[in-house]
A and B are shown apart, each in its own frame.
Chain A
Amino acid sequence: MRNGKDVSASLKKKAAYGPDVNIDEFKVGTYAPERIGDLSDASDDVKERMANVGVVPCGASRSGTILFLDNGPSHVSRGSDDVEIMPIREAAKRYDLSEYLWKAVDPGKDKYTSKTYLEDSDGYFIRAKAGRHVKDPVQTCMIINRSRQMQNVHNIIIVEENASLEVITGCTTNKHVNESLHVGVSETFIKDGGSLTFTMIHNWGDATHVRPRSATILGKNAKFVNNYVLLKPVASVQSYPAAYLNGEGASAKYSSICLAHEGADIDFGSLVEMNAPGTSAEIVSRSITLGGRMITRGRLIGNAAGAKAHLECRSLVLKDGGLTLAIPELESSVADVEMTHEAAVGKIARDQVEYLMMRGLTEDEAVGMIVRGFLEGGINGLPDELKDEIDAAIGKANLGS
């Protein structure tokens, strides 16, 4: 047992945001799932689900892969000496992780974190070695394999001094899985001069509740880019990842693109605390409501001189019946900061649709082209596979009139 605090009282504590989920209705998923030695031996179902969230089944062009089925590791492989990848329970046996475990996220924050703490959940441990540039991305994949189950994972990413790392994480449910709950606690540490690009792609079942709890602590001149993509139907997502820029010159950029399908309840935000001089932050969110609830939050806090930050929250409402709420917040405790925000909620401008129709595109094609541009504008350097996913999601959503 790594975890000694008594946080059982927090098991009843509702989260500050998002619809409340009764965690007692879900059974904790197995810690000993089927082991897959070679990803190409995975079942077709698993392979297909991985592909849908950008995880390459053969592991090509990746520095390593770690796959969790329910609550346990199913596959770990590594193709680079510059990075360590292993289940966190194994890492805790090998290393003293006391300076990392539960140091960025408070275990008593709410019922989801305390459950994960009390379960002493497994998860991935990824460490980029000091000074190393990890060439290809590390991919992680979380799959919920059975209905009425809860997946708890506790992840740690460490980017040592002057190392650089890219992580792609895809989270999904297996086919035929309906009601389920995913709780992922992720604690990330980017040390002085380190850099991390973290891209998370969610593709859950339409009855899945999702409660990620992520926080990142950055050292001097450390750089963090966080991308989040949610295109498929989901029951609810409530997530409010935070970055603490504690080292001078550190920077963080959060980008997100979210589609709120009918029946979905999404509350997604990002928080950046600029605690050291010369730090900078950017939050860009693009969301579309297709009859679901879509709340986008953004909070920038300037606590040190020279902090610079911008927040941009844009939402398109394409169908009636849902809710769109943009809540941008700027907070400062010192004089010498420069923080700005812009928020826009609206429909697609008719004159733009007509302009494209004038060139011969049908109304659906015109709307699709504008929506694609709107979403793709949210993330710089979006990989082609994700662009294809966006196209597929737009195609399925019947956006025209």
Chain B
Amino acid sequence: MNIYFKPLKVVIHLLKIENLHAEAGGKEILKGIDLEIGDGRTCVLFGPNGSGKSTLLAAIMGLGHCKITKGRIIYDNTDITGMPIDERAKLGIGMMMQRPPNLVGVKLRALVNAVSDDADAVIKKADEFRMDGFLDRDINVGFSGGEIKRSELMQLTAQRPKFVLLDEPESGVDLESIGLVGKKVHELLCGGPQCNSPNNVSALVITHTGQILDHIGADDAYILVDGKIKCSGRPMGLLKDIRERGYRECIRCGMVKM
């Protein structure tokens, strides 16, 4: 007899953050974060400037300037708290930085080639990102705000992550480009232009303006204030509250929902 047991998928939460404390520049920035992101879910993170949103993404990615002092980060049933960045990338975590560094001497084409198993296909699609004129330029050097975001999205598309961290994907993007950025983020989360299959790429998206929400379907939203998650809710609902009443008021009533 040939009985095949399909293993039970025990992962309910793709990402689980427990009591995370972290420092940047010698100062405690994250002051006890608990956060769970379900497999295939898209979460939105709101919060005032300087509240620690980018630092939280840095902690998940493992960037060196963010030092974790307490707590842990579990991804796909693996404790990644002290794992090197590239190993996290290999587990499927990808990130679009708010302000990526200039890479003098490193060409976009070379990086796409190094990152992708099917680089030719991605390079062929450079025009879709309006990046065809940038393949032989140094990454981010002299790029405009929109060009930086489109280049990040092209690199992420080459990488094909299972979980993406997007740090203000719409910031610095002019009105003309915003539609394209939104479309490409949408495709990234769907794993392609057709999004009829249940989307299995999960995401944590930081947005200040909420503009990106016109292009992606988000499931949950959180507000981060002073290094702590202060409230949660439905993305559009929270966004409406923030727009109408500002963070302070929203936090006051948001607390109830926690």
A residues lining the B interface (CB < 8 Å): 349-352, 354-363, 365-366, 369-370, 372-374, 376-377
Contact = CB atoms under 8 A, between A and B. Distances in A.
A391 to B, nearest CB: 12
B86 A360 contact: yes
B35 interface: no
B16 to A, nearest CB: 21
Contact of A369 (B65, B101, B114, B159): B114
A362 B86 contact: yes
9 contacts: A351-B65, A354-B64, A354-B85, A358-B94, A360-B89, A370-B103, A372-B105, A374-B104, A377-B105
Interface residues of B, number: 27
Given A355-B100, A361-B86, A373-B103, 17 more contacts: A352-B103, A354-B63, A355-B101, A357-B89, A358-B61, A358-B63, A359-B114, A360-B86, A360-B89, A360-B90, A360-B115, A369-B111, A372-B105, A373-B105, A373-B106, A377-B104, A377-B105
B101 to A, nearest CB: 4
Nearest to B106: A373
A369 B110 CA distance: 9
Chain B's interface: helix, strand, loop or mixed, by majority?
mixed
Given A350-B64, A365-B114, A373-B138, A357 B86 contact: yes
Contacts of B115: 359-361
Interface of B: 61, 63-65, 84-86, 89-90, 94-95, 97, 100-107, 110-111, 114-115, 138, 155, 159
Contacts of B106: 352, 356, 369-370, 373
Contacts of B155: 359
A345 to B, nearest CB: 15
B59 to A, nearest CB: 13
Contacts of A377: 104-105
Contacts of A359: 89, 94, 111, 114-115, 155, 159
B200 to A, nearest CB: 19
A286 B89 CA distance: 32
Contacts of B85: 354, 357-358
Contacts of B104: 373-374, 377
Contacts of B97: 355, 358
A366 B89 CA distance: 13
Given A360-B89, A363-B84, A349 B114 contact: no
A358 B107 CA distance: 16
Contacts of A372: 105
Contacts of A363: 84, 86
Closest 6 CB pairs of A and B: A373-B105, A357-B85, A360-B89, A357-B86, A351-B101, A373-B106
A359 B154 CA distance: 11
A372 B115 CA distance: 17
Contacts of A356: 103, 106, 111
A28 B28 CA distance: 68
Contacts of B111: 356, 359, 369
A355 B86 contact: no
